[in-house]
A and B are shown apart, each in its own frame.
Chain A
Amino acid sequence: MGKYIIKRLLMLIPVLLGVSIIVFVITHVFSPDPAPVVLGQHATEESMEAWREANGLNGSVVSQYIDYLGGVFRGDLGNSYYTKQPVAKELSSRFPATIELAVVSVILAAVFGILIGVVSAVKKNSIWDSGGRILSLVGVSIPIFWLGVIMIIVFSGTLHWLPSGGQIDPLLKPKSVTGFNLLDCIITGNTAGLADSLKHMVMPAMALSMYSLAIITRITRTSMLDSMKQDYVRTARAKGISEGKVLTRHVLRTSMNPVVTVIGLQFGSMLGGAVLTERVFAWPGIGSYIVECVQKSDFPVIQGAVLLTATIFVLVNLAVDIIYTFLDPRIKLGKKEG
């Protein structure tokens, strides 16, 4: 197991190299010169030249890439063209907001997704099943930016129940302890801030979880139906085990492998920044920041953010594989099965 994990972690290196080459080429070869954008209306040829020189954009793409890679190995992702702050600092200040949203959304999606999936499977072809299937179809098909805007119009614009965006009322923001807004509210005993943060969390978390919820519902249903046809389930029933136990111990548990994979993948992509959700709800995470940086041609930040996203994705996948071994004792990581 330990060996397997180390092997998988080593695999990160080629993955990240590949990813870094691709983004580097996209930003430095296929994108227009950032100098006029960064320097603005009064950019002159000389000032742009000086700026390119200062930001190492004058050498060949290959030498620029090697410089960049050297920096990455030293833990230096470069500085933002605009704020001059190290990219790592820029990203880490926004990452907690993304994690908070992703965690809440994935919990919502997993709990309700599995519940609805189980009901659909158990009551196959009933009205409950049809409802679940329609819900999952709608959830998968609905574009999140549309859903987000509709939610804002209904819950903020018309009903005035919820704030339309942001993470917390700026005047209620707690002192930063962990960087995680909800945790900081709890630690500092800021109940007004906590309530306000939860209010702000409702719509983005619901919108973001919708797609994952739909997928989890479908996978749970299919997987459950599959398991229910297995011989061991028939055997369990034949032994006289109660239906509840059959479902929870024999069907549900063995159906969970693909579900866990999907939850993991969804969580991974949410951590990479829910670009659309964050933007629509003015959520101050990585996703909305990436959009902003693409618009402003802030190359170092784009590169750093993509590397971060790729790393998270690989790590979450690894975590999913490890969880497998607990769910299904037959799987031994790193060993060929006979």
Chain B
Amino acid sequence: MISFLARRAILALLVLITVLTISFALTRLSGDVAVSMAGPAASQEDVETIRKAYGLDRPLPIQFANWVIGAASGDLGRSYLYHAPVAELIKARLPITLTLGLTGLCIALLTAIPLGILAAMNEGSVLDRAIMMIAVIGQAMPSFWLGLTLIIVLGLRLQWLPISGVDTWDGYILPGIVLAFSAIPALMRLTRSGMVDALASDYIRTARAKGLSRASIVLRHALRNAAMPVVAVAAVQLGFMLGGSIVIEAVFSLNGVGYLAWESIAKNDFPVVQSVVLFLSTIYIVLTLLADLLNAVLDPRLRTA
């Protein structure tokens, strides 16, 4: 068990280093960063000044090493646009993105799990088909368009919810719903197939033979086993959701990490872009590690093996 986790951790570290190298290479090899930072109106001198100021005149491997060493000690460099440490910029905006991601995940789980259970309990029925149709429709909905549509319908026509910003808690509801939509189909399918397998298993027959109540059979005995893969995928989905929040934040004008990234990309603020990539990859990798860990906790066969 411990050695399994240690191996997973080493693998995660390797993945992180690779991703960092790739993202670093992409930002450097796809053009002269100093030129694009300086803008079209800049003189050759300005470009050289920027090159010096950001250490872009040094060889690439050294730039990379410096950046990685800095990042490991919490120094992500300075934003060219905001003239502030990148770490602080991200830290200031992190609460919004995290709240959004967790709101989305909660909405997704609270929708997908009950619907998946309901579909599995009525496998093959009209209800099952109708619920799975929701998954197909949800998958086909472009999130930015869904966001704009909800803004028009719920925010403007019905005026139920605020349409942009998160000055109050209910500002998170609309973007949360839109973000949840991206995760609901996968989670729902997984819950359904897990529950279908569990409900057809021998131990559920035993539970019925013991005369347990329907609620206990479905929600305790079957769900507990079906939930293991769902938990793992939910953690991974949260990673995808944080990465995808860039679109949602743009639609709802939320000043989170995604918005920061979008802005920085558009303005060639490469220290910020690199750091956000690093940040999102790290979160994703940590979440997958966490999913493995959670699985081990939930599945006694893994825990005590």
A and B are interacting partners: no
Chain B residues proximal to chain A, CB less than 8 Å: none
Seen from chain A, the residues whose Cβ lies within 8 Å of a Cβ on chain B are none
